[in-house]
Amino acid sequence: MSIGQGCSRTADRVSLTHRAWVEVDLEAIRHNIATIRRLLKPSTQLMSVVKADGYGHGAVAVARTALSAGASWLAVATVEEGISLRMAGIEAPILLFGPVICTEEIDALAEHRLQPTVCSLDQARRFSEAGLGPIPIHLKVDTGMSRLGVSWHEAQDLLSAIRVLPDVSVVSLYSHLATADAVDPTTAMEQFTRFAKLVDTLQRQGRRPPLVHLANSAATLTFPDTHFDLVRIGLAQYGLYPSSHLQAVVALRPALALKAKIVFVKTVPPGTGVSYGHTFRTARRTRLATVSIGYGDGISRALSNGIDFLVRGRRARQVGTITMDQCLIDITDVPEASDGDVATLLGQDGGERISIAEWAARLETIPYEILTALSPRLPRIFCQA
């Protein structure tokens, strides 16, 4: 399998001024969307979730790729994120996950045809009273996440109250799962049951909104019953798994690689203290390479002395404290490495690969946080096949 090798020739395209960068393999995203689509009924729509700059991959490029690969909806978290998609000329319907509460945001949202999430009558009234023409709204129901949404007990009453308001129309009813990535399905099934009952009731009453949706990536991969009319796909389209047990379900291709240049190489004697605080001391005569990336680029300082980089297809240990703009690796065992070489922090080089899951385990966090921490200082370089 050629997992994650799509960007093999991009090194040629990296400008000489780039000291560190993110490579995004759009072909991998296309593959992932197509792979996920095959798990869905033909009538089920796919919403590409591109909040937080497309989980750090670049929202506009991801959105365009996803739409051309079979997604029909986009989702963002903020009005600004939605506007930047519209500014790029993207015409697909865009759902805004976050609540919108101030008037300026409502004006901007209507102007740019972003479709808001509504959790209360009060919020719905604000859109109605803005008098900006019929605004399509998405009613969010809390079935157990306890974050946003009207409680599932009160959803029917809220729907009735919103129905009589002018200038708003409920185009979807949705909820979000708190534990879809867990091995134990009990809690997710409980949320599913609450949601499905509500949908059934509305259906019998003839007032089921046109779209009903519940599944995120994890639920899409594991609970086909949760697919309803549309699935909201974030992490999986980027080729990553919300949890490692989901790897068995489909073969996704990670789209993102993180690379930086070696800018200086020197040999130091045994016993040499390395970087701030001398948290590493050489045990042998060591070839040290300075790599031009640091925590100012969004790689956590907590990874210091705990990860490998790939150089010329081999692993080289990162040593000493990671600094703001630079860090060090031990290339004693990669004797042909020299300054100007590209070091791969995440992604593939030759037969070796370093996964985001490896970093996530090290940092006791989830891939989502690692991706969205990658700083805007890192240029995003896109490659098609």
Binding-site residue positions for substrate: 147, 324
Query: How many residues of this chain bind ligand PLP (CB under 6 A)?
Result: 13
**Annotated catalytic residue within 51, 140, 259, 261:** 51
Contact flag: residue 76 with ligand PLP (CB under 6 A): no
Binding letters toward ligand PLP, positions 288-307, x by CB under 6 A: --------------------
Question: Which residue minimizes CB distance to ligand PLP?
Answer: 234
- Quick check: 116 binds ligand PLP (CB under 6 A)? no
The reply on whether position 217 binds ligand PLP by CB under 6 A is yes
Residue 49 in contact with ligand PLP, rule: CB under 6 A: yes
What distances in angstroms separate CA 241 from CA 73, 198, 216, 221, 235, one per listed residue? 21, 30, 11, 9, 7
Give whichever of 67 and 310 is closer to ligand PLP, judged by the CB atom: 67
Q: Are strands 342-349 and 308-311 parallel, antiparallel or unpaired?
A: antiparallel
Contact string (CB under 6 A) for ligand PLP, positions 15-34, x = contact: --------------------
Least distance CB 53 / ligand PLP (angstroms) = 13
Pick the binder of ligand PLP from 6, 56, 82, 242 (CB under 6 A). 242
Q: Give the active site residue among 41, 55, 259, 276.
A: 276
Member of 126, 138, 176, 312 binding ligand PLP (CB under 6 A): 176
- Residue pair 135/113 in contact by the 8 Å Cβ criterion: no
**47: β partners:** 73, 232
Closer residue to ligand PLP (CB): 217 or 222 = 217
- Which of 123-131, 192-200, 214-222, 374-382 is the region at the interface with ligand PLP (rule: CB under 6 A)? 214-222
The answer to whether residues 361 and 327 touch, using CB atoms and an 8 Å cutoff, is no
Q: Name the strand (E) or helix (H) holding 107.
A: helix 103-111
What are the CA-CA distances from residue 67 to residues 45, 52, 90, 119, 229 (Å)?
11, 18, 9, 28, 17
Is 51 designated active site? yes
Of 239 and 320, which CB lies nearer to ligand PLP in the complex structure? Answer: 239
Give the one residue of 199, 235, 337, 346 binding ligand PLP; rule: CB under 6 A. Answer: 235
Taking CB under 6 A as the criterion, the residue among 173, 233, 342, 371 binding ligand PLP is 233
Residue 232 interacts with ligand PLP (CB under 6 A): yes or no: yes
Find the helix packing angle between 26-37 and 59-69, rounded to 10°. 40
| CA 344 to each of CA 34, 349, 358, 373: distance values in angstroms, whole numbers, following the listed order | 27, 7, 14, 17
**The two three-digit tokens of residue 17, written as one number:** 């001024």
Q: What one-character DSSP code corresponds to residue 277?
A: G
Residue 297, token pair as written in the block: 């680029």
Contact residues for 200 (Cβ-Cβ < 8 A; gap 6+): none
Q: How far is the CB of 187 from ligand PLP (least distance, A)?
A: 16
54 binds ligand PLP (CB under 6 A): no
Per-residue burial over 321-337, b = 16 or more CB atoms within 10 Å of its CB, e = otherwise = bbbeebbbbbbbebeeb
Q: Tell me the binding residues.
A: 147, 324
Measured from the CB atom, the residue of 239 and 242 that comes closer to ligand PLP is 242
Task: Look at residue 131 and give its three-state secondary structure.
Answer: coil
* 286-296 per-residue burial string, b: 16 or more CB within 10 A, e: under 16: bbbbbbbbbbb
**CB-nearer residue toward ligand PLP: 198 or 233:** 233
What's the closest the beta carbon of residue 242 comes to ligand PLP, in angstroms?
Answer: 5
Q: Can 266 be counted among the known catalytic residues? A: no
Residues annotated as catalytic are: 51, 276
| Site residues (vs ligand PLP, CB under 6 A) | 49, 51, 97, 176, 216-218, 232-236, 242
